[in-house]
Structure 1
Amino acid sequence: MDTELRQTLHRRGLRMTPQRQLVLDAVSELGHATPEAICTKVQEIAPAVNITTIYRTLDLLEQLGIVRHTHLGHGAPTYATGEHEHVHLVCHRCGTVDEVDAGLLDDLAEVLATRTGFALDPTHVALSGLCSRCESSDSEAEV
C-alpha cells in the first residue's frame, strides 16, 4: 500500500510525509478508529502532530481512495483502510460493532438501482439494531 500511496501522491505533485505515513499506519493498525484515536496513536511517536493535521491527512487519504470513513452511530466517523469491504452492524444497546460481507446487500443494491437509479456503496453502510446477545436477552425477559 505504501508504494501505491507514494505513486498516487507523486502523480498529484504531493509527497509522502512522515505525518501521512504515521496516520496511514495508525489507521491500518487500529482498524475502525476515530480521528481522535488516530491522533493519540500518532502522538505516541510524534507528539507534535495535532488533530488538524490528522483531519487533513484523513481527508486527503480518503480523496485518494486509501481510507474510507463510516458513521457507526452519533459520534465521530471512524476510518479504515480501503481494504475493508464490509457492512457494519451496530448494536444500539451495547455498542458492539460486527462486520458482515458487503455482498449481503447485493439484492437491495439491485432494487435501489432499478427503482431509483441510486448506486449503493454497501461498504459505507452501518446498520443499527440489536446484536444477537441483546436480542436474546430481550426474548428471555419477555418469557
Structure 2
Amino acid sequence: MTPQRQLVLDAVVELGHATPEAVCTRVQETAPAVNITTVYRTLDLLEQLGVVKHTHLGHGAPTYATSEHEHVHLVCHHCGAVDEIDVDALEALAESLRASHGFRLDATHVALSGTCRACADRADAELAKDA
C-alpha cells in the first residue's frame, strides 16, 4: 500500500459515500500533488481488491464506500436526500429473482429512487391546500 493509496482509502473511510472528486479534494488537503487520475486509478484498484465498492446514486459520478458499508440506498428525486436500509429488506425480491431467473442480486450495489417522506408530505400538503 503506497502512501497515496492509503490517503485515498482514508478519505473514503472518512467521507462515507464519496465521489472521486470529493476523495481527491480530501486527499489534496494532505498531498496537493495527487491528481484526479490517480484517485480514479486507486479507487479502481481498491475495488478490484474488494476494499471499496461503488454505487450510482443518480445521474452523476459514482460514490465509493468501504466494502463492509453494505446497505441499499434510497435516493429522493426531489431533494436528493440519500437514506439507507438494510439489504435484508430486499431479500424477498432477491429470492424471487433467483427462483425465476437464476439471477443473484447484489443488493449492496443498489440505489432505489423515489420520493422521501419529507418531500411526499410537502406534496400531500400542497394537494390538500389546493383541494
TM class by smaller structure: over 0.9
The yes-or-no answer on 1:86 pairing with 2:71 is yes
Secondary structure at the aligned position of 1:136 is classed as helix
What's the counterpart of residue 11 of structure 1?
none
What's the counterpart of residue 133 of structure 1?
118
Which of 66, 90, 97 is equivalent to 1:105?
A: 90
What's the counterpart of residue 32 of structure 1?
17
Secondary structure at the aligned position of 1:89 is classed as strand
In structure 2, what is the Cα distance between the partners aligned to 1:72 and 1:45?
A: 28
What's the counterpart of residue 124 of structure 1?
109
Q: Deviations over 1:13-65 (max 9, x none)?
A: xxx10001000000000000100000000000000000010000000000011
Alignment: residue pair count:
128
In structure 1, what is the Cα distance between the partners aligned to 2:113 and 2:104?
A: 21
- The residue correspondences of 1:16-95 to structure 2 (distance < 5 A) are 16-95=1-80
In structure 1, what is the Cα distance between the partners aligned to 2:23 and 2:126?
A: 39
In structure 2, what is the Cα distance between the partners aligned to 1:137 and 1:131?
A: 10
Which of 96, 99, 106 is equivalent to 2:81?
A: 96
Task: State the AA in 2 paired with 1:111.
Answer: S
The runs of 5 or more residues in structure 1 that have no matched partner are 1-15
Deviation at 1:142, TM superposition (A): 1.1
In structure 2, what is the Cα distance between the partners aligned to 1:32 and 1:50?
A: 20
The runs of 5 or more residues in structure 2 that have no matched partner are none
In structure 2, what is the Cα distance between the partners aligned to 1:129 and 1:28?
A: 27
Task: State the AA in 1 paired with 2:56.
Answer: H
**Percentage of matched positions with identical amino acids:** 73
Secondary structure at the aligned position of 1:112 is classed as helix
Secondary structure at the aligned position of 1:73 is classed as coil
Q: Normalization by structure 2: what TM-score?
A: 0.97
In structure 2, what is the Cα distance between the partners aligned to 1:29 and 1:100?
A: 20
Deviation at 1:80, TM superposition (A): 0.3
In structure 1, what is the Cα distance between the partners aligned to 2:123 and 2:65?
A: 32
Q: Normalization by structure 1: what TM-score?
A: 0.89
